[in-house]
Structure 1
């Protein structure tokens, strides 16, 4: 199979395969008082405002070797932000390196891509629950490319740009490109799992599972942080300020929230 992808195929026209990476991150915390919950929302809005998100997506365009055509960004009231970037192929003849190999992509110091036209979007969703003290932050990122390069090359950088408790990723190759003899090619690079594009240090930190539909070129991976330290989840407080009973109660709430998001279903309480 690898020989098929490594062999150069002479195309009829432009490679018009569409490759889309949907990347979602979740941050979970416990904010005990209404004031702490409000401060958490304000912190997230400041930490991941439209300007910061624009900088992250700008670095993604560098990684895939693209030119930015247009940027639209917006901070929302009372919370959240959105950024959309329209990009096109970089015409710099010095960018010659191109690889879609199953390996972690670079961090932003390297330029290694090539594409014709595409877009990047990001939306944030901070929220809190008034009753149980759980607050969450979700960011939805889409990187869609048309041409030779895969947005999976930006995945390593995106993961390192956020401190995430849960990450879910969907990758799909759509359409087809045609060789000069008329044959259709529905994918132009080898992929067995999104996990193969993730760096080892990340794999060591997360539990990871796949749900892949190879015949449809659809790949799904989700990750959940392995280690749990209650102090990492307390906003505006410390576990030393809590009784053992309070620590256990909050730990149960945070872990339940984490599992529900990871598995995509509500988990009933023990006494329900």
Structure 2
């Protein structure tokens, strides 16, 4: 265990629980009920249980964890979930950096084989929620992901990989550290690394692409970051239609609808109907 670059000798196993939670949103406009149904089917297939299992398998490799068990399920009419029980690989974990820097985008061959020494409560879960609004034509896809680790391995290493694995228009991130671990003198440690913001673990391209806001409660080891794409291109939000085929009034109407949807998700509230959104 280390805080900054100073290593501490622990009494027994590192008992800190670190949890990184994602809410990832993809927003789309579909003109008709048939197109909305087609979008839901497309996104449901693109992120089915098999694909989600592959993503979480990469996450386990990135954070240096060993997969103990996987349960996955596709749901009718739509949605999927995967739960993965993991444990720390001690030889791997000791080689992983434990300070604020972006993690890799994909697994690499850098981790040697290691014997699992501890079965703990570490797990990775993902649930998907496709939905649509029949009145406005707006459809959204939400993926809820939790990466919870007990021990030295850090879920923050999975941050960049997960953001790049999904079509993320809005991302809500929460990171918390719970419990405590003792050093050999009996002193409690409630966190084993320095952190001022989740943003410290984001890659440069993510920082360039997203507008971000932090709400952190340092004394409680709670860190919250909200992200929304900076650049708005209407074609990125259209399904089965293209911007060039839309008359100007319709284009402006759809832009306002999509911008409102993105803003309401980002701020977590229904905004005033009188509030105007630029096209």
Shorter-chain TM-score bucket reads over 0.9
Decide whether the 8 Å contact of 1:86 with 1:120 is kept in 2: yes
Give structure 2 stretches of 5+ with no counterpart: none
Decide whether the 8 Å contact of 1:95 with 1:112 is kept in 2: no
Deviates more, 1:110-119 or 1:246-255: 110-119
Decide whether the 8 Å contact of 2:70 with 2:85 is kept in 1: yes
Closer, same or farther: CA 25–112 of 1 in aligned 2, 3 Å = farther
Closer, same or farther: CA 97–177 of 1 in aligned 2, 3 Å = same
Deviation at 1:75, TM superposition (A): 0.3
Closer, same or farther: CA 37–4 of 1 in aligned 2, 3 Å = closer
Q: 1:164 aligns with which of 148, 162, 168?
A: 168
Which whole-Å deviations, capped at 9, do the CAs of 1:164-191 have from their partners, x for residues lacking one?
1000100000000011111100000010
Secondary structure of the corresponding residue to residue 87 of structure 1: strand
| Structure 1 residue 248 corresponds to structure 2 residue 252 | yes
Instruction: Specify the alignment match of 2:27 in structure 1.
Output: 28
| Structure 1 residue 67 corresponds to structure 2 residue 66 | yes
After the TM superposition, which parts of structure 1 deviate over 2 Å for at least 4 consecutive aligned residues?
A: 93-96, 110-117
State how far apart, in whole Å, the 2-side matches of 1:224 and 1:95 are.
Answer: 32
Deviates more, 1:107-116 or 1:7-16: 107-116
Deviation at 1:6, TM superposition (A): 1.7
Deviation at 1:270, TM superposition (A): 1.7
Which whole-Å deviations, capped at 9, do the CAs of 1:4-24 have from their partners, x for residues lacking one?
532111111110000000011
Deviation at 1:269, TM superposition (A): 1.5
Which whole-Å deviations, capped at 9, do the CAs of 1:109-156 have from their partners, x for residues lacking one?
255699943100000000001111000000000000000121001111
Deviation at 1:90, TM superposition (A): 2.3
Give structure 1 stretches of 5+ with no counterpart: none
Closer, same or farther: CA 120–94 of 1 in aligned 2, 3 Å = closer
State how far apart, in whole Å, the 1-side matches of 2:110 and 2:131 are.
Answer: 36
State how far apart, in whole Å, the 2-side matches of 1:94 and 1:270 are.
Answer: 55
What value does the CA root-mean-square deviation take over the aligned residues?
1.9
Which whole-Å deviations, capped at 9, do the CAs of 1:74-131 have from their partners, x for residues lacking one?
000000000000011226x477512121110013125569994310000000000111
Query: TM-score normalized by structure 2?
Result: 0.92
Instruction: Specify the alignment match of 2:43 in structure 1.
Output: 44
Secondary structure of the corresponding residue to residue 212 of structure 1: coil
Q: 1:238 aligns with which of 239, 242, 254?
A: 242
Deviates more, 1:169-178 or 1:262-271: 262-271
Deviates more, 1:106-115 or 1:96-105: 106-115
State how far apart, in whole Å, the 2-side matches of 1:68 and 1:44 are.
Answer: 27
Deviation at 1:158, TM superposition (A): 0.8
State how far apart, in whole Å, the 1-side matches of 2:110 and 2:201 are.
Answer: 17
| Structure 1 residue 190 corresponds to structure 2 residue 194 | yes
State how far apart, in whole Å, the 2-side matches of 1:112 and 1:253 are.
Answer: 46
Query: TM-score normalized by structure 1?
Result: 0.94
State how far apart, in whole Å, the 2-side matches of 1:235 and 1:209 are.
Answer: 29
Q: 1:139 aligns with which of 139, 143, 146?
A: 143
Decide whether the 8 Å contact of 1:65 with 1:111 is kept in 2: no
Instruction: Specify the alignment match of 1:109 in structure 2.
Output: 108
Deviates more, 1:115-124 or 1:217-226: 115-124
Which whole-Å deviations, capped at 9, do the CAs of 1:194-227 have from their partners, x for residues lacking one?
0000000111001001000000100000100011
